Amino acid sequence: MKHFEANFDGLVGPTHNYAGLSFGNVASLSNAALASNPKAAAKQGLQKAKALADMGMVQGMLAPQERPDLYTLRRIGFSGSDANVIQQAAKEAPMLLNACCSASSMWTANAATVSPSADTRDGKLHFTPANLVDKLHRSIEPLTTGRILTATFNDPHYFHHHSHLPEHNSFGDEGAANHTRLCKEYGHAGVELFVYGQEATNPSAPKPQKYPARQTLEASMAVARLHQLEEDNCVFIQQNPDVIDQGVFHNDVIAVGNQNVLFYHEQAFLNTQHKIDEIKRKLDTDLYFIEVPTAKVSINDAVKSYLFNTQIITLPSGEMVIVAPTDCQENPAVFAYLNELLTLNTPIKQVLYFDVKQSMQNGGGPACLRLRVAMNDMEVAAVNQHTLMNEGLFGRLNTWVDKHYRDRLTTQDLADPQLIIESRTALDELTQIMKLGSVYQFQR
């Protein structure tokens, strides 16, 4: 049996915009009110996904969500025709309209936590959609995320889908952005690292003072239980609260792992050495802990460039490659570090740069845009094949984007009722292209 780590990238939705919705996410706040280009955003994402498929990686796409979310707007009291709902909300509560128009489901690292079948007691691949309760605009994602995941990984013989965790701060869950798996080979049982920002039920435990800690230990432990993981295969690590307060709102902004490599900033975690010892005890293989010192890359440079929001992938040749945003090339300290990294005699042999600036301006780098799913060849064959990237899907999705997406969108434009029609027309066609069935509320 062959084993792969597939990446499922989020297709950027037609309402991609900059509304400054994510307190604690520096890029989101500082680019608020900039005009976005949804067409370019979707194309940048497709380019990256296609490039990985061309390198021989298993690459899939996850459909975006229906936005504007009129159901939430109606639930909070806006009424009348669809156009009335939008216009009333724009007038009386523009920030709520903005929240209901975000294309944030594109960051599929936050879609769910995934445990491969090699790790789970029932031998199935487990998915738990993230509840994303910390941010209003993201808290409206999980139900549809569950539907899209089920339509993509649609064989219950192989895939076990859970409901998202209770919608309360005690269970704040941001999915795979706070989860990394280390292993010898993808098909071998690994160690799953769950990184949390705070303990909800222990008021004396450390936590950030300025920005929210979106992930709780309680949520991480619940996911580990649901996914039927053994205690010996899990390590729970607290993120350093000081770096959360400097804009590291998810662990994948400060650390990334792949197979036997953990690449992280010196200040990423609490009790780092103790946790590294626990990982070594639980995973018997040659491990590379690549710790980046503050003296070489400051937290500020890491947050600006997204050095750690890179994908570390293993090519079919066995060589590891870092997929980085072009912003890493533009930051002198980070670029120098990446060039040095290639000389350090680690499994990482190459850095490839991709322009994903439309996403970066909202705080989403290459790693935010993808959900990792380690699978064997039978599981890959059980995936909805119309979601897998190849020449055909790449062509169809580019044509679809050209036909339906605007090339400029401001927050003022979100009040345009025409956007509902454009978005639904596009998504209805997309469900046919990707053979997803009726995953959207407007289709049910």
Asked if residue 275 lies in contact with residue 237, where contact means CB atoms within 8 angstroms, the answer is yes
Best CA proximity match to 189, nearest among 3, 22, 61, 45? 3
Number of residues that bind ligand SUG (CB under 6 A): 23
Binding site annotation covers 20? yes
Q: Which is nearer to ligand SUG, 28 or 72 (CB)?
A: 28
Shortest CB 286 distance to ligand SUG, Å: 28
- Tokens read off for 121: 């007691």
The separation between the first and the last C-alpha atoms of the chain, rounded to the nearest angstrom, is 39
Shortest CB 101 distance to ligand SUG, Å: 9
Q: Which is nearer to ligand SUG, 196 or 249 (CB)?
A: 249
For ligand SUG, the binding residues in 358-377 under the rule CB under 6 A are 362-364, 368
For ligand SUG, the binding residues in 127-146 under the rule CB under 6 A are 135, 138
Catalytic residue flag (residue 100): no
Shortest CB 367 distance to ligand SUG, Å: 6
Shortest CB 368 distance to ligand SUG, Å: 3
Catalytic-labelled residue, pool 161, 179, 227, 250: 250
Asked if residue 312 lies in contact with residue 258, where contact means CB atoms within 8 angstroms, the answer is yes
The reply on whether position 305 binds ligand SUG by CB under 6 A is no
161 vs 34: CA distance, rounded Å: 37
342 vs 319: CA distance, rounded Å: 12
Q: Which is nearer to ligand SUG, 21 or 299 (CB)?
A: 21
Catalytic residue flag (residue 250): yes
228 vs 171: CA distance, rounded Å: 18
Task: Find out whether the peptide bond into 94 is cis, omega within 30 degrees of 0.
Answer: no
Cα dihedral 48, 53, 57, 63 sign: positive
Cα dihedral 145, 183, 233, 280 sign: negative
What distance lies between CA 48 and its chain's CA centroid? 15
For ligand SUG, the binding residues in 136-195 under the rule CB under 6 A are 138, 177
The reply on whether position 253 binds ligand SUG by CB under 6 A is yes
User: Which residues participate in catalysis according to the annotation?
Assistant: 174, 250, 368
Give the footprint of ligand SUG on this chain (CB under 6 A).
18-22, 25, 28, 102, 104, 107, 109-110, 135, 138, 177, 249-250, 252-253, 362-364, 368
Residues in the annotated binding site for substrate:
19-28, 110, 137-138, 214, 252, 362
